[in-house]
Amino acid sequence: MTAVARVLLVVLGTAVPAAAQPARTPLRGAGPAIGGADRAPARAGDRAPGRAIVQERSRLTIEPAGQAITRLSIENPLGDVRVEGYDGTAIQIETHKVAPDEDALDRLHISLIPNPDGTVAIKTTADGGREHQPVARAAVRIDLVIRAPRDARVEALVGSGTLEVANMDAGGDLDTGSGPISVRNVQGEVLTHSVSGLTRLVQVFGSVDAQTLSSDLDLDTIGGDRLIASVHHGRIDGRRVRARDVELTTTDGRIMLEAEAALRGHLVVSSFRGDVDVQLRRHGAVTVRARGTKVDLGTQSRAQSNGWVEAAISAGDRALIETALVELRAMRGNVRFAIIESRP
């Protein structure tokens, strides 16, 4: 379907033009072909016994017309979203709708709006109206699995479902309510925000800005110019972090970081009510200043009159301008710092 060329509003299952209307057939045998939709009662074990549900699966491919697809905007408050980058140019969307009955299933819609500027917007909704029997939100869901060109930027909003982005090269802006966020093997600027969803970033090579209100944040193999992460209630765990500027902050939760200090880099790790534990691999000179209920810098340090404890780890002939600055604070917690590897 050359939807982009026609700037076509497509609503799966409702307003798809006749030529593109996916057939709704009972699920039999092999999976559906691209562009088809299958509707069937759920398999046993999909839900608790005794609860009848129906589900519909469909697939759709959107080919670029003229301009490449450069941005993917997704809003799915009704379920999970998984975006995987691949080497193709089209967007392939697999949808999976689940509802307690046919009427409720018919209320669930997925709209695709391809724009001429290279943006494809995907949005899920549930019809309302008095004529419908009320259905609890927890009883319906729409899950989306999207294969997108690697160089498309992803902007996604999810409610309580899981948001996963993998193998993309243009970063993304990811937002969830209580749903967890998982980012893996992504390049480019990545912004994540979650109210209470566990946020996990693995193999992200680009600037990162992550913020959660009440959930943990897990960082593994982060490389880029800048890493800014803040958590209100929750922990931050970082491993194999290498960014020139690192700022990790929690109000109420410990921070554990294993990082590599870049030359002339800044690393600021602060917690109001939590311990701060930093292990550093260094390439050059490092100056550490720390403040906390109890401070252990693992090397010779001197206490200042203003409450700070400072230590300088030299790197031979390296110029002072290349010194990395490390600032650690635990207002109502302990600070521990250690150099675990030195490469002068």
Partner 1 sequence: MTTCETIQPRLTAYLDGDLDDERGSVVRGHLRECAACRQLAREEAALRDGLRVLPPVDPPPSLWAGVAARLAAAEVADARKPRWRRTVARLARWAPWPPTMPQYAAGAVLAAAAVVMLYWRTQRADEQLAAGPAVVVPVKRMPEPPPPRPLPSEAIDPAAVAPAGDDVTADLRAEPARTTASYDQVIEELMKLASEARPAWGDDQKAAFDTKLVALRSGIARAAPGRTQQRAQRALIRYLQNAVVRDDVVLASRGAR
Binding site for partner 1 (CB under 8 A): 26, 40-41, 50-54, 77-78, 100-104, 107, 125-129, 132-140, 157, 159, 175, 177, 191, 193, 195-196, 209, 211, 213, 228, 230, 232, 247, 249-251, 268, 270-272, 329, 331
Query: Which residue is listed with tokens 């566990």?
Result: 198
Measured from the CB of residue 270, what is the shortest distance to partner 1 in angstroms? 5
Nearby residues of 206 by Cβ (< 8 Å), 6 or more positions away: 171, 186, 187, 188, 189, 190, 224
Burial of 7 (0-12, 13-18, 19+ CB in 10 A): exposed
**b/e burial code for range 67-89 (CB count within 10 A of at least 16 → b):** eebebbbbbbbbbbbbbbbeeee
Which residue's CB is nearer to partner 1, number 302 or number 332? 332
Closest to partner 1 by CB, 41 or 116: 41
Specify the residue, 11 or 20, whose C-beta has the smaller distance to partner 1. 11
Kindly write down the DSSP assignment for every residue of 148-211, as one continuous string. Answer: EETTSEEEEEESSS-EEEEEESS-EEEEESSS-EEEEEEES-EEEEESS--EEEEEEES-EEEE
Cβ at position 189, least distance to partner 1 in Å: 11
Task: Supply the minimum distance, in Å, between the C-beta of residue 100 and partner 1.
Answer: 4
Q: How far is the CB of 259 from partner 1 (least distance, A)?
A: 17
Distance CA 139, CA 214 (A): 25
Nearer to partner 1, 26 or 66 (CB): 26
Q: Between 273 and 281, name the residue whose CB sits nearer to partner 1.
A: 273
At 186, phi and psi to the nearest 5?
A: -125, 135
| Nearest distance, CB of residue 140 and partner 1, angstroms | 6
The nearest distance, CB 266 to partner 1, in angstroms, is 11
Least distance between partner 1 and beta carbon 300 (Å): 26
Integer Cα distance of 144 and 49 in angstroms? 25
How many angstroms from the chain centroid is the CA of residue 216? Answer: 13
Hey, is 65 helix, strand or coil?
A: coil
For residues 127 and 341, which CB has a smaller minimum distance to partner 1 in the complex?
127
Convert 234-271 to b/e letters by CB count within 10 Å (16 or more is b): bbbbbeebbbbbbbbbbbbbbbbbbbbbbbebbbebbb
Q: Which is nearer to partner 1, 226 or 281 (CB)?
A: 226
Q: Which is nearer to partner 1, 104 or 204 (CB)?
A: 104
Q: How far is the CB of 66 from partner 1 (least distance, A)?
A: 29
